[in-house]
């Protein structure tokens, strides 16, 4: 792997891409050994103790062809490297020594997605490597990149790649902040994927999980105080961001972030559930929050590399401070996911109002979210049983700083049977939802297969080889949904290989009736967004939405354009802005005609949508 930092040699984090050495932080150990197989020869040697709890192997790993190594702490069992890039024998075994060529040497002309302007405002496509293709590898995913180019995608977002137990899983139980899961092809395959995407003009975003590690294969606590009981999360003790020795833990995360950008050539990182990064540093020690630290370091790295780099937060807080610059007292994230937009669209299209969807039955929810991202903006949240969120200043904050979507891995996979929205609504209803978010002032994101209304589900699946853990996951999943009335036999078993297999996309659907029409609709919407500046504009204050819950009509006005939709089943007539010459239909799904008693009237069939040029 890369050099550890800060290191006692004085090289610090600036040596991240410098001379690679094997070092490990183990401040509580009295003795640390490397236990390795070097070109087939067993090696067991003491590491040299250095300052601040760091230990170093004095030999140069570059002198070895294939080096599988681990560490023994005070004579204990062999443990993988906390900064391992590759675990070819699984998360419990030795690490494989690996170094790669930084992007600056592989492709010095790359400046980032969208000709260097970055991810914000572009079209993101979220995919899971293990189910995107039958093979479930990064190399096989390369073969489908041209589909994304034809669709109009700007950035491919990969769900987590960190090594996790077994071969199949979502990736959120990863245990290696620095690793690329071997079943997906390992670190070399990720470099090939990034280079192939860049060659097609596509940026790459990587979903990373810094708020916890999975329950199996997590050995960090044996090395040092990586966790603290001063805070707790849904997964147990929190990652140590503000307790004793937190500086090295924070650097552990900072170095991982820099490495994804600089070495692999990733263009953006999606940071999972940042509200679970428990950090009281600004209050306890006068420091800055980890997110602000990452924002400042990423900005400096972007300037040095002369490449656009973005950090996108998944945040449940509904707080604009998340995307407010650090210099203005915020946390400095480039953008954040906006679940409220999804929830409002989902309720309007499906009528589901259980759980956290209940509040979004409010007739103002769809208008509020399409105009200002947050519905809960200092208002009562019945699901949380408290007031929640803060309002977005529509005059100051760019709409591109909010990622909007109709589906995500969570919103599909966390359903009992992993059913997509296309299983609950008509094609026309999905087409309406797509038009409203793809032509919004936000940064739109498509979940893989959504663009052709994939019939395959996307279910929750795992591959824990530990029998007790596997049984607990299966039983827990069934019990969770049994409480909501689901029969146990109807909920797929996460541990069964068939559950993953059922979630693999069926690419033959793209040419089948119904699916092909939806794909053409998504392509048309994205093409319009690219061609018409009004439809890509980020000015939230210029967005107005008229939603009549009695008739089911919704009008979203975007500069010279209006998206007109009929959420109901019966035909309706709506009035759009009058330019004098009457509106022009530029895209339709379902039944839509212009004209009636007045030239600026549009007749829409049930579950139909039209995009009109009105000026």
Q: How many residues are listed for the chain in this entry?
A: 615
Compute CA distances 127 → 70, 121, 230, 314, 537, whole Å: 32, 19, 35, 16, 26
94 and 199 share a domain?
no
Residue at 591 is within a domain: yes
Compute CA distances 362 → 17, 119, 194, 324, 459, whole Å: 53, 32, 43, 28, 29
378 and 508 share a domain?
yes
244 and 157 share a domain?
yes
Tokens 């504009």 belong to residue: 537
Question: Span 384-406, mean pLDDT?
Answer: 98
The 10s digit of each residue's pLDDT in 42-92 is 999 999 999 999 999 999 999 999 999 999 999 999 999 999 999 999 999
SS3 366: helix
Question: Span 398-406, mean pLDDT?
Answer: 98
Q: How many CA atoms lie within 13 A of 289 on its CB side?
A: 20
Pairing between β-strand 601-604 and β-strand 572-575 as defined by DSSP bridges: antiparallel
443 and 588 share a domain?
no
pLDDT at residue number 19: 66
Residue at 341 is within a domain: yes
Q: Band the pLDDT of 488: cuts 50, 70, 90.
A: confident
User: 489: which 2 tokens?
Assistant: 């036999």
347 and 448 share a domain?
yes
Residue 577 is part of which domain span?
543-613
519 and 566 share a domain?
no
Residue at 199 is within a domain: yes
Among 68, 103, 138, residue at a domain's last position: 103
384 and 501 share a domain?
yes
Residue at 533 is within a domain: no
Specify the pTM: 0.96
Residue at 530 is within a domain: no
Q: What is the distance between the alpha carbons of residues 337 and 315, in angstroms, rounded to a whole number?
A: 7
Q: Please, which residues bridge with residue 589 across strands? A: 609
Q: How many CA atoms lie within 13 A of 278 on its CB side?
A: 17
Residue at 296 is within a domain: yes
Q: What is the distance between the alpha carbons of residues 2 and 14, in angstroms, rounded to a whole number?
A: 11
Q: What percent of the chain has pLDDT over 90?
A: 92
The 10s digit of each residue's pLDDT in 418-445 is 999 999 999 999 999 999 999 999 999 9
For the chain, give the mean pLDDT: 95
| Residues annotated as catalytic (active site), given as ranges | 272, 314
Residue at 112 is within a domain: no
User: 149: which 2 tokens?
Assistant: 């180019």
Task: Supply the DSSP symbol for 229.
Answer: E
The 10s digit of each residue's pLDDT in 267-319 is 999 999 999 999 999 987 678 999 999 999 999 999 999 999 999 999 999 99
68 and 185 share a domain?
no
Question: Span 319-329, mean pLDDT?
Answer: 97
471 and 408 share a domain?
yes
Angle between helices 427-438 and 515-531 (to 10 degrees): 20
Q: Is the pLDDT at 596 greater than 80, yes or no? A: no
Indicate the number of domains in the chain.
3
520 and 547 share a domain?
no
Q: Is the pLDDT at 8 greater than 70, yes or no? A: no
392 and 479 share a domain?
yes
Q: What is the distance between the alpha carbons of residues 458 and 413, in angstroms, rounded to a whole number?
A: 5
Residue at 529 is within a domain: no
Task: Supply the DSSP symbol for 161.
Answer: -
Q: For residue 563, what is the domain's CATH number?
A: 2.60.40.1180
Q: For residue 332, what is the domain's CATH number?
A: 3.20.20.80
129 and 200 share a domain?
yes
Among 103, 132, 152, residue at a domain's last position: 103
The CA-to-CA distance between both ends of the chain, in Å, stands at: 58
The 10s digit of each residue's pLDDT in 331-369 is 999 999 999 999 999 999 999 999 999 999 999 999 999
């Amino acid at each position: 792997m890369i050099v550890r930092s800060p290191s006692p040699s004085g090289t610090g984090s600036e040596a991240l891409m410098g001379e690679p050495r094997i070092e490990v932080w183990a401040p509580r150990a009295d003795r640390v050994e490397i236990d390795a197989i070097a070109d087939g020869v067993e090696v067991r040697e003491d590491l040299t103790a250095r300052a601040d709890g760091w230990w170093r192997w004095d030999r140069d790993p570059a002198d070895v062809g294939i080096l599988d190594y681990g560490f023994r702490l005070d004579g204990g069992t062999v443990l993988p490297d906390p900064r391992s890039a590759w675990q070819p024998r699984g998360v419990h075994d030795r690490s494989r020594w690996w170094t790669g060529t930084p992007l600056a040497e592989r492709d010095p002309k790359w400046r980032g997605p969208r000709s260097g302007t970055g991810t914000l405002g572009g079209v993101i496509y979220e995919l899971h490597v293990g189910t995107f293709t039958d093979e479930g590898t990064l190399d096989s995913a390369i073969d489908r990149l041209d589909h994304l180019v034809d669709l109009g995608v700007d950035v491919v977002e990969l769900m987590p790649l960190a090594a996790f137990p077994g071969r199949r899983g979502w990736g959120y139980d990863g245990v290696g902040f620095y690793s690329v899961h071997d079943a997906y092809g390992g670190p070399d395959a990720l470099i090939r994927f990034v280079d192939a995407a860049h060659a097609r003009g596509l940026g790459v975003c990587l979903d990373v999980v810094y708020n916890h590690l999975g329950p199996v294969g997590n050995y960090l606590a044996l090395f040092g105080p990586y966790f603290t009981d001063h805070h707790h999360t849904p997964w147990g003790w929190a990652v140590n961001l503000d307790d004793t020795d937190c500086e090295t833990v924070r650097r552990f995360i900072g170095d991982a972030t820099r490495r994804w950008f600089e070495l692999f050539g990733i263009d953006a990182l999606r940071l999972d559930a940042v509200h679970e990064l428990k950090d009281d540093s600004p209050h306890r020690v006068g420091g800055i929050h980890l997110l602000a630290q990452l924002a400042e370091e990423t900005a400096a790295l972007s300037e040095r590399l002369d490449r656009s780099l973005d950090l996108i937060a998944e945040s449940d807080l509904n707080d604009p401070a998340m995307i407010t610059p650090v210099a203005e007292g915020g946390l400095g994230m480039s953008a954040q996911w906006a679940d409220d937009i999804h929830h409002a669209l989902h309720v309007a299209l499906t009528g589901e109002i259980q759980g956290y969807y209940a509040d979004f039955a409010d007739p103002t929810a769809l208008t509020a979210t399409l105009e200002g991202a947050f519905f809960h903006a200092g208002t009562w949240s019945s699901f949380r049983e408290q007031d929640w969120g803060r309002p977005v200043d529509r005059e100051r904050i760019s709409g591109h700083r909010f990622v909007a979507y109709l589906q995500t891995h969570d919103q599909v996979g966390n359903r009992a049977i992993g059913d997509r929205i296309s299983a609950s609504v008509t094609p026309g209803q999905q087409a309406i939802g797509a038009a409203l978010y793809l032509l919004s002032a936000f940064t739109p994101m498509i979940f893989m297969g959504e663009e052709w209304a994939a019939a395959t589900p996307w279910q929750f699946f795992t591959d824990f080889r530990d029998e007790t853990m596997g049984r607990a996951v299966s039983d827990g999943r069934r019990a969770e949904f049994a409480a909501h009335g689901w029969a146990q036999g109807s909920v797929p078993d996460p541990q069964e290989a068939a559950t993953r297999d059922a979630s693999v996309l069926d690419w033959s659907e793209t040419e089948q009736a119904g699916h092909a029409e939806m794909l053409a609709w998504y392509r048309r919407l994205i093409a319009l967004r690219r061609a018409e500046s009004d439809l890509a504009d980020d000015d939230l204050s210029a967005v107005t939405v008229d939603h009549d819950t009695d008739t089911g009509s919704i009008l979203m006005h975007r500069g010279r354009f209006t998206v007109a939709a009929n959420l109901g089943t019966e035909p309706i007539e709506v009035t759009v802005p009058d330019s004098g010459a009457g509106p022009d239909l530029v895209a339709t799904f379902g039944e839509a005609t212009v004209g009636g008693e007045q030239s600026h009237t549009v007749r829409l069939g049930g579950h139909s949508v039209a995009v009109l040029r009105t000026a």
